[in-house]
């Protein structure tokens, strides 16, 4: 049976001014998977993350963590925030301290862990995020990519089970975003469930195990990436583009219909292998 | 201001225990405030400048620029103290008549001005020593050790961080206005600057909201507590600081 780490049932969230950012949203994240969320700006991706971490209190519906409905009791909320980490899109909104070391220690200290253990956790997080050399550097001297890594280390230090990354590859150069995607793979191999929202269709197609398409505050479609990104109807209605690998694959398919029996290429390499078989 | 911050992180005295630097800087400052001997003040200026330039390794060009910052301000202030207008010409040492009055300097005025000037400059160098060698994070750490109310140190932490975010945002806004000829004439400049300031204000509000949300996701519940860096006292440094202070106090009493 598939295990779901987080599930929601008819979730609704409205901002104090009445705008409904999430409407009737039912979503289930499978434990240990790499999950991508795509959809236009304003579809409610960020709001969803904040609601699942308990920062926004759902106005309707239920959230289940490991099958248990979450209440908004203080102790339980802290526990939820420990296990569900969010990395914000703009590191500048997340980083509050001028010292990288202090910044990363903030989360674990809030969890009430003894100080020497906190130090250990901070160091582990810095090593994992590959920024030990930035430990004594002030935050405002860092580049965009370095700030991003610090904001990820912030969350890793709390040792969450699931990490939500809000457009992690926005504002970073292609090389860094490539490195980040590999980094997310490593985190996933350590058993963490990774959920990332993105506009980078090409990357998410190659990377994700499962994809959700969000539109107007609810889940518009979901499925395996090779299903979602080949479905013209979904792509059109959600204003999404087709990944280039799929585009090439479909052109190939037109000439050689027998290729349909082979699996759909998921990466550049798989596509090249397919071309060689022609 | 930004360059001071920059040097605070890259100077050679960064790793010295912040309390030692604080004791030397503030201790010497106190001595300067207490004793009105200009010779002592100039000695302090020389001593602090020596530490800043030789030990901390701050480039002398940058230091000279910093030293010039309070100069005009002080010079104008001191001029007011030194100059005297009087109708009893006998007390004036050098001066010239302005109608029925005499404008000039008298002995007491010059002494007063010299002491004010040297004392202010000596105090500035003491503070420059602290500012140039100790990053703000360490200064806040000192304040925490001194049991300054937590709400103040927390605010300092966040304000310090967000000064840079604010500056970045402001310079971006300025550039984007400049690109659209927002500063082409004086009237347009006033308008653009007004827009920039009001926008910055709104942005700051947004930022503070976002920050609160971001902190909440990491379990923030009213206290910003972080792991402090551990510093090690150096007995040799402490001995030297005490010797220096004793020397200054002794000298001041003798003079």
The whole-angstrom distance between B10's CA and the closest CA on chain A is 9
Co-location of B237 and B116 in the same domain: yes
Within a 13 Å sphere around the CA of B190, how many CA atoms are in the beta-carbon half? 2
d(CA B76, CA A242): 70
Answer whether residue B99 shows pLDDT above 80: no
Q: Chain A window 56-95: which residues touch B at a Cβ cutoff of 8 Å?
A: 74, 78, 81-82, 85-86, 88, 92-95
Residues B64 and B176 in one domain: no
- Is-contact A174 A234, C-beta < 8 A? no
Mean pLDDT of all residues in chain B? 86
Q: For residues B111 and B136, state if they share a domain.
A: yes
Judge if B20 and B37 occupy the same domain.
Answer: yes
Q: Residues B82, B162: one domain? A: no
* pLDDT for B219 beyond 90: no
Note whether B211 contacts A: Cβ–Cβ < 8 A: yes
- Kindly write down the DSSP assignment for every residue of A5-45, as one continuous string: EEEEEEEEEE-TTS-EEEEEE--EEETT-EEEEE--TTSSH
Same domain, B115 and B69: yes
Which DSSP state fits B230? P
pLDDT more than 90, % of chain B = 18
pLDDT at B2: 64
- The number of folded domains in chain B is 2
Start-end of H helices in A223-267: 225-228, 232-237, 244-255
Whether B127 maps to a domain, the answer reads yes
Going by C-beta distance under 8 Å and a sequence separation of 6 or more, which residues neighbour residue B28? Answer: B44, B47, B48, B122, B126, B244, B245, B248
Contact A96 B161 (CB under 8 A): yes
Domain match, B35 and B128 both: yes
- Please report which residue ranges of chain B form alpha helices under DSSP H: 2-10, 18-34, 38-50, 60-82, 107-133, 136-145, 150-179, 186-217, 235-254
pLDDT of residue A187: 92
pLDDT, position B1: 54
Same domain for B171 and B187: yes
135-154 in chain B: CB under 8 A from chain A: 135-137
The pLDDT value given to residue A34: 93
Q: pLDDT 10s per residue in chain A (278 long)? A: 788 999 998 999 998 888 888 998 999 999 999 999 998 888 889 999 999 988 888 888 889 999 888 888 888 888 888 899 999 998 988 888 888 998 999 999 988 889 889 999 999 999 999 999 998 888 888 988 899 999 999 999 999 999 999 999 888 888 988 899 999 999 999 999 999 999 999 999 999 999 999 988 889 999 999 889 888 899 888 888 899 998 888 888 888 877 777 788 888 888 888 888 77
Average pLDDT in the B195-199 region?
A: 92
For residue range B109-164, what is the model confidence (pLDDT) as tens digits? 888 888 888 899 999 999 999 999 988 888 998 998 889 998 899 898 888 888 88
Q: How confident is the model at residue B13, as a pLDDT?
A: 85
Q: What is the pLDDT of residues B46-95, one digit of tens each?
A: 999 999 998 888 888 888 988 888 888 888 888 888 887 777 766 677 77
Phi and psi of A9, rounded to 5°? -130, 115
Q: Are residues B132 and B45 located together in one domain of the fold?
A: yes
B205 inside domain: yes
Q: Chain B: residue nearest A135 by CA?
A: B229
Minimal-distance CA residue of chain B relative to A54: B217
Q: Are A220 and A39 in contact (CB under 8 A)?
A: yes
Assigned domain for B226 exists: no
Residue-range domains of chain A with CATH: 4-237 (3.40.50.300), 243-278 (no CATH)
Enumerate the residues of chain B whose CB falls inside 8 A of the CB of residue A100: none
**Pairing relation of β-strands A28-30 and A34-38?**
unpaired
Q: Is residue B250 part of a domain?
A: yes
Give the structural domain span for B73. 2-142+231-254
- Give the containing element (helix H, strand E) for A174: helix A174-189
Neighbouring CB atoms inside 10 A of B70's CB total: 16
- Please report which helix (H) or strand (E) contains residue B86, including its range: strand B83-86
Q: In terms of C-beta distances under 8 Å and separation of at least 24 residues, what long-range contacts does B82-86 make, across chains too?
A: B82/B109, B82/B110, B82/B112, B82/B113, B83/B109, B84/B109
């Amino acid at each position: 049976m598939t295990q779901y780490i987080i599930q929601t049932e008819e979730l609704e969230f409205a901002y104090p001014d009445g705008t409904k950012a999430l409407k009737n949203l039912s979503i289930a994240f499978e434990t240990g998977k790499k999950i991508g969320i795509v959809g236009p700006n304003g579809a409610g991706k960020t709001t969803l993350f904040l609601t699942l971490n308990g920062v926004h209190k759902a106005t309707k519906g239920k959230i289940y963590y490991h099958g248990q409905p979450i209440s908004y009791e203080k102790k339980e909320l802290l526990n939820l925030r420990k296990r569900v980490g969010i990395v914000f899109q703009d590191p500048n909104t997340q980083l509050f301290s001028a010292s990288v070391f202090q910044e990363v220690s903030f989360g674990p200290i809030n969890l009430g862990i003894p100080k020497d253990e906190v130090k250990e956790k901070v160091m582990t997080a810095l090593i994992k995020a590959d920024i030990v050399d930035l430990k004594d550097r002030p935050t405002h001297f860092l580049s965009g990519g370095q700030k991003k890594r610090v904001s990820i280390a912030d969350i890793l230090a709390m040792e969450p089970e699931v990490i939500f990354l809000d457009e992690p590859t926005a504002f970073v150069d292609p090389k860094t975003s490539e490195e980040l995607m590999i980094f997310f793979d490593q985190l996933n191999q350590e058993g963490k469930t990774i959920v990332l929202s993105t506009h980078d269709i090409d990357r998410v197609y190659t990377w994700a195990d499962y994809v959700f398409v969000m539109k107007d505050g609810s889940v518009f479609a979901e499925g395996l990436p090779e299903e979602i990104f080949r479905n013209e109807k979904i792509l059109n209605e959600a204003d999404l583009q087709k990944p280039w690998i799929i585009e090439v694959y479909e052109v190939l398919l037109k000439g050689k219909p027998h290729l349909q029996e082979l699996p759909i290429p998921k990466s550049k390499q798989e596509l090249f292998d397919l071309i060689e078989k022609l | 201001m930004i360059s001071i911050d920059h040097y605070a992180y890259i100077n050679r005295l960064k790793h010295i225990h912040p309390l030692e630097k604080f004791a030397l800087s503030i201790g010497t400052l106190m001595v300067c405030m207490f004793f009105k001997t200009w010779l002592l003040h100039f000695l302090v200026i020389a001593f602090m400048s020596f530490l800043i330039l030789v030990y901390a390794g701050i480039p002398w060009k940058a230091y000279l620029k910093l030293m010039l910052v309070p100069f005009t301000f002080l010079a104008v202030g001191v001029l007011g103290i030194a100059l005297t207008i009087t109708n009893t010409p006998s007390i004036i040492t050098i001066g010239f008549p302005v109608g029925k009055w005499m404008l000039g300097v008298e002995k007491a005025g010059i002494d007063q001005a010299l002491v004010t000037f040297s004392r202010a400059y000596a105090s500035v160098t003491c503070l420059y020593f602290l500012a140039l060698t100790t990053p703000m994070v360490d200064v806040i750490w000192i304040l925490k050790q001194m049991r300054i109310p937590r709400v103040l140190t927390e605010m300092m932490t966040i304000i310090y961080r967000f000064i840079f975010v604010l500056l970045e945002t402001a310079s971006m806004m300025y550039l984007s206005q400049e690109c659209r000829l927002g500063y082409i004439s004086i009237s347009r400049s006033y308008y653009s600057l007004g827009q920039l300031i009001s926008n910055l204000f709104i942005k700051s509000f947004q930022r503070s909201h976002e920050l609160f949300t971001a902190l909440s996701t990491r379990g923030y519940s009213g206290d910003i507590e972080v792991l402090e860096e551990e510093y090690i006292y150096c007995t040799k440094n402490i001995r030297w600081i005490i010797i220096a202070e004793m020397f200054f106090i002794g000298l001041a009493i003798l003079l």
